[in-house]
Amino acid sequence: MEDDMVEEVMVRNNGFDIDLVTELFKKSLVGDNDVSLLLYIDAYRQINRDKILDSEVPCILNSKWGTEQLKCRSMFMTPFPFCYRLFSLLSKGFSFIENDLLEKEKILMNLHTSDPIHYDTVNKMVSWECRSGEPSEKGSRTLLRLHRALLFIIDFSKNLKDSDEGDQISTLCQASYNDTLSRDHSWIIRKLVGVAIHLLVSRDYILKALMKKRGLRNEHEVKQAIIRFIDAAEQVFNRLQKIYEGRSILNLP
């Protein structure tokens, strides 16, 4: 066989990969003030569980340069291989949140597929949808829900980073929820979240899961990975916040 011959392999990956999400958020930054819509969706798909539950994605193994080089097929048009992501890692009680986020991801993906020019970046999407004033299409409203959820994820990540052994993850999560998403949720949703929070796994379970995923050696390395994630996610969040503030659409119903 020739040196540059490629071999198709199956890559299996079952878990929340915090470093991958961090990298996707970093790559989603466009110029000085914009965000790639596709990469934003991609990052969210790593946070949220993929209900298609496709555990195998064909990739190409290229040994042309003497080193194994995985070249995955389109990350946007192929079901992702991660069966369980952040919300599944936390608790099965968060399944209703997973379903809601998945539906919003699909809406945005469909908008991009049908109109890739106007739904290429967040700035382009918002400018297009606000061409006659308040957004007439549902992209801006849908993304706003994910934007609000990202604030919760960032806040919870900060609480997890600052936590100590023995701290209750339910307390950390409830505090983050109260400071972020709860103000946009109805009474019944707040009650459902409260029930889900009481079903959360332990702090040590989450840290060990993150440690195992990336081969991290100790809690300090896990917390450093969380810090990197927070930094990337906050950059994305702040850009979206400014875009929405500039159009006065942060309070869309």
For 129-149, the pLDDT digits (tens) are 999 888 878 999 999 999 999
* C-alpha pair distances (Å), 251 with each of 31, 40, 107, 134, 141: 26, 21, 20, 11, 9
What the block records as the tokens of 186 is: 């109805």
pLDDT tens string 210-247? 877 666 778 888 899 999 999 999 999 999 999 999 99
pTM: 0.78
Cα angle value 171/194/157 (rounded, 5°): 45
The fold of the 15-51+91-246 domain, in CATH, is Glycolipid transfer protein, GLTP (1.10.3520)
With H, G, I as helix, E, B as strand and everything else as coil, classify residue 96: helix
User: So where are the chain's domains?
Assistant: 15-51+91-246
Position 199 scores a pLDDT of 81
Picking from 117, 114, 119, 88, the residue whose alpha carbon sits closest to that of residue 101 is: 88
- Give the C-alpha separation, 35 to 40, whole Å: 7
Position 2 scores a pLDDT of 32
* C-alpha pair distances (Å), 161 with each of 12, 53, 148: 28, 29, 20
> Helix, strand, coil: what percent of the chain each, to 5?
60, 10, 30
Q: Which regions of the chain are under pLDDT 50?
A: 1-14, 50-84
Tokens 């999400």, located at residue: 21
Position 132 scores a pLDDT of 85
Q: Is 140 exposed, middle or buried (0-12, 13-18, 19+ CB in 10 A)?
A: buried
Residue 3 neighbours by CB under 8 Å, 6+ apart: 63, 64
With H, G, I as helix, E, B as strand and everything else as coil, classify residue 34: strand
- Give the C-alpha separation, 90 to 30, whole Å: 31
Alpha carbons within 13 angstroms on the beta-carbon side of residue 136 total 7
